Chain A
Amino acid sequence: MSDVPAIEVLDLQKSFGENHAVQGVSFDVKQGEIFSLLGPNGAGKTTTISMLSCLLRPNNGDARVMGHSIRSDSTGVKSVLGVVPQDIALYEDLTARENLSFWGKMYGLRGSKLKLRVDEVLDVIGLRDRANERVGKYSGGMKRRVNIGVALLHKPKVIYMDEPTVGIDPQSRRNILDSVVKLKDEGMTVLYTTHYMEEAQELSDHIGIMDHGKLIACGTGEELVKLVGQQTRIDLTLNGDGSNVMQMWQAIDGVSRVSAEDGLVSVLVADSNLVLPHLFEAAAQLSIRITSVDIREPNLEAVFLHLTGRALRD
């Protein structure tokens, strides 16, 4: 495996009228690693993937996929690339085998080689015994698996997976996450977008956090957690107006940040054991009742909160 980055993104920009969807995004993805783009809906992840798939032409910047420029060598990019789109992109009135055969042809496979690869992919996605059923009759999870299978047909060096676990059952989700790890083990480079923090944390060698079209942080999971100084997040629910108590909590030693959204107050602290009694004490002084407490050790959710002041789920 050479040192050339599998994906090299340089100041990528895309606007739709006044909407600046992607604003100068740059990052590298090494060969054979899983890189996750993490961010809420509308952060610009899909637009970035679309540009890297040559579906959208950037307003500015460039990117290279296995050395092929998305601006000047789109055919070269497409030949080394497998794309798993966010939406199911299959012909529901064709069987799984017919779908895979058709898409295989679009990737240039023919004859016995095509047939062999279709059978192999059917084994990988675990649908060989139901290969001759129309995709329209499949469950959501099965469709997702075929959707991924299509991108594997031509054994691409790089695979993009745009939120592949949206709207599926836990079992199918687990299968997909396992298959992503398998792809990495087989030497593929995976660019994975998600708004599920747990997925990014579990799968990724490197993570890029996107918000409002910008890459606001990039690194390994550990590196990112260090950004919030190994702080713990305490989520509290109050039974009344929390604005006064929040001011008191902000003044407590060991509290670095207090924020509130949708009735949930989040407090970033260095040591939850030391700070928690003071939080209750201050609330009692103002006759505010704390109805629930959730202590969260440092994670990507906290990183996002630290960087944007908002929870990732929003």
Chain B
Amino acid sequence: MKVFDIALKDLTRSFRSTFAVVFMLGVPLLVTGMFYFMFGNIASEGGFSLPKTKVVIANLDEGGPKFQVNPKNIPGGKKADTMGDLIVSILQSEDMADLIEVALVTSAESARTAVDSQNAQVAIIIPANFSHQFADVDGEAVIEFYQDPTLTIGPAIMRAILNRFMDGMAGVKIAVNVFLDEADSSKYVFAGQVVQLYLKDSLAESDDPAEELLDVRTPANGQNNEAEESQNLMLNIIGSIMGGMMVFYAYFTGASTAQSILREEEEHTLPRLFTTPTSQATILTGKFLSVFMTVFVQVIVLLIAARLIFGIQWGGILSVALMAAGIIFSASSFGIFLNSFLKNSKQGGVLFGGGLTVTGMMGMIKIFAMNSAIANKMGDTISLLVPQGWAIRGLMQSMNGEPTVSVLITLLASLVWSVTFFVIGVWRFNRRYV
């Protein structure tokens, strides 16, 4: 009972300090908010603003049945003699102008070279038989999608656009096939009008095609598995930043709260506690429990606040619980461990400012490197050298919808860190006050 009395007293003191509350809760949300507006510009425009993706298209389509499509009914309003022309016309339309910048080349090789030389992020190669295959009942119309493997955002957007277009085209193909089956050959020239009407209706459904396309979810884990729905791309980035901030500041809170043991010593309340009929074990357990409780409150509040304010999807409830447990245990025990080496609270500034910032940045390096495959891999390795890295790994796994067992394994690794830190910290504090 006394253990909880001591812990609750510390919790009250922690959250009664305006500075502490701002530091624990305000700063992580504020930093994330800055990134949110920087990337999304939500407040002023109500939508995301992204750098344009450079797309190079090699339209080699030699055509098939004559569609006689009225350019007025095609996004972009250009003449389209083939299905390839139709795709190019749509991608060059004003609706897409905010998202992509299209350049045309005459060969597949040129398109790929443009990507290899990083002059473009994505190459789309429409084969010579594309329209023909489209018109053939048994045919399979395929577009080659060639991208810079180190990039994620631009290609993902482009893939989403094409997926949406091809989904629409699949519907068109069924409509055309039904028409060709039913009509006599003299009416084949009207097939183009069928395409035109279908496209008109399809595109008219959306007021803002670009915004709708952004809602198309990117594949999880880089795999094109529709069943494993991925999260919204931008919210994924904001979520990663918020998660990183949460871990970074949770470790500061753990260290700062554990420092209350030293502060109580300096404020003379710890010696006074030792004059009461309360055992040293009870007093120290209460102090340690207060560290866990404070970090627990911080992490829970931040998880909920980020969900409500930024709409961040943290993952399944079990994964989130495991991930949060990993952060809470490792941040708390790391704080106790660090403080057990301090002679007084004044030394804490140096240790926290240096040690926690460096290890925190190391742990978050994976987030900074998320837009580059090579740096991401290196960052993954470096971040796992510090406990913050494991906490962030669990966070990312949960957010990416990885299996719970993967998050559980990461939690176990975090617990190994935590137990090691906790045992050393408790041993040192016990020895200090014995």
Contact = CB atoms under 8 A, between A and B. Distances in A.
B276 A91 contact: no
Given A106-B273, A107-B276, A88 B268 contact: yes
A173 interface: no
B268 A106 contact: no
A89 B267 contact: yes
Interface in A25-82: 53-55, 75, 78-79, 81
Interface stretch (B8-16, B51-59, B126-134, B151-159): B8-16
A55 B279 CA distance: 12
A105 B16 CA distance: 21
Contact of A53 (B1, B9, B267, B275): B275
Interface residues of A, number: 25
Contacts of A90: 269
A105 B6 CA distance: 9
A105 to B, nearest CB: 5
A153 to B, nearest CB: 10
Given A54-B275, A78-B275, A83-B275, A91 B13 contact: yes
Central interface residue in A89, A94, A107, by most chain B CB within 10 Å: A89
A1 to B, nearest CB: 23
A192 interface: no
Given A75-B277, A79-B277, A89 B268 contact: yes
B80 to A, nearest CB: 73
Contacts of A54: 274-275
Contacts of B275: 53-55, 78, 81, 83, 85
A93 interface: yes
A196 interface: no
B271 interface: yes
A17 interface: no
Contact of A89 (B2, B16, B269): B269
Nearest to B279: A75
Contact of A85 (B2, B9, B271): B271
Given A93-B17, A94-B9, A94-B12, A55 B276 contact: no
A249 interface: no
Contacts of A88: 268
Given A79-B277, A93-B17, A108-B277, A102 B9 contact: yes
B278 interface: yes
A83 B269 CA distance: 12
Contacts of A107: 276-277
B13 A93 contact: yes
A200 to B, nearest CB: 23
Contacts of A103: 272, 276
Contacts of A83: 272, 275
A9 to B, nearest CB: 17
Contacts of B278: 106
Sort A-B residue pairs by CB-CB distance and give the 9 closest, nearest first. Answer: A89-B268, A89-B272, A106-B276, A78-B277, A87-B268, A83-B275, A79-B277, A105-B5, A53-B275
20 contacts: A55-B274, A75-B279, A83-B272, A85-B272, A85-B275, A89-B267, A89-B268, A89-B272, A91-B9, A91-B269, A92-B267, A93-B17, A94-B16, A98-B12, A102-B5, A102-B9, A103-B276, A106-B2, A106-B273, A150-B272
Interface of B: 1-2, 5, 9, 12-13, 16-17, 267-269, 271-279
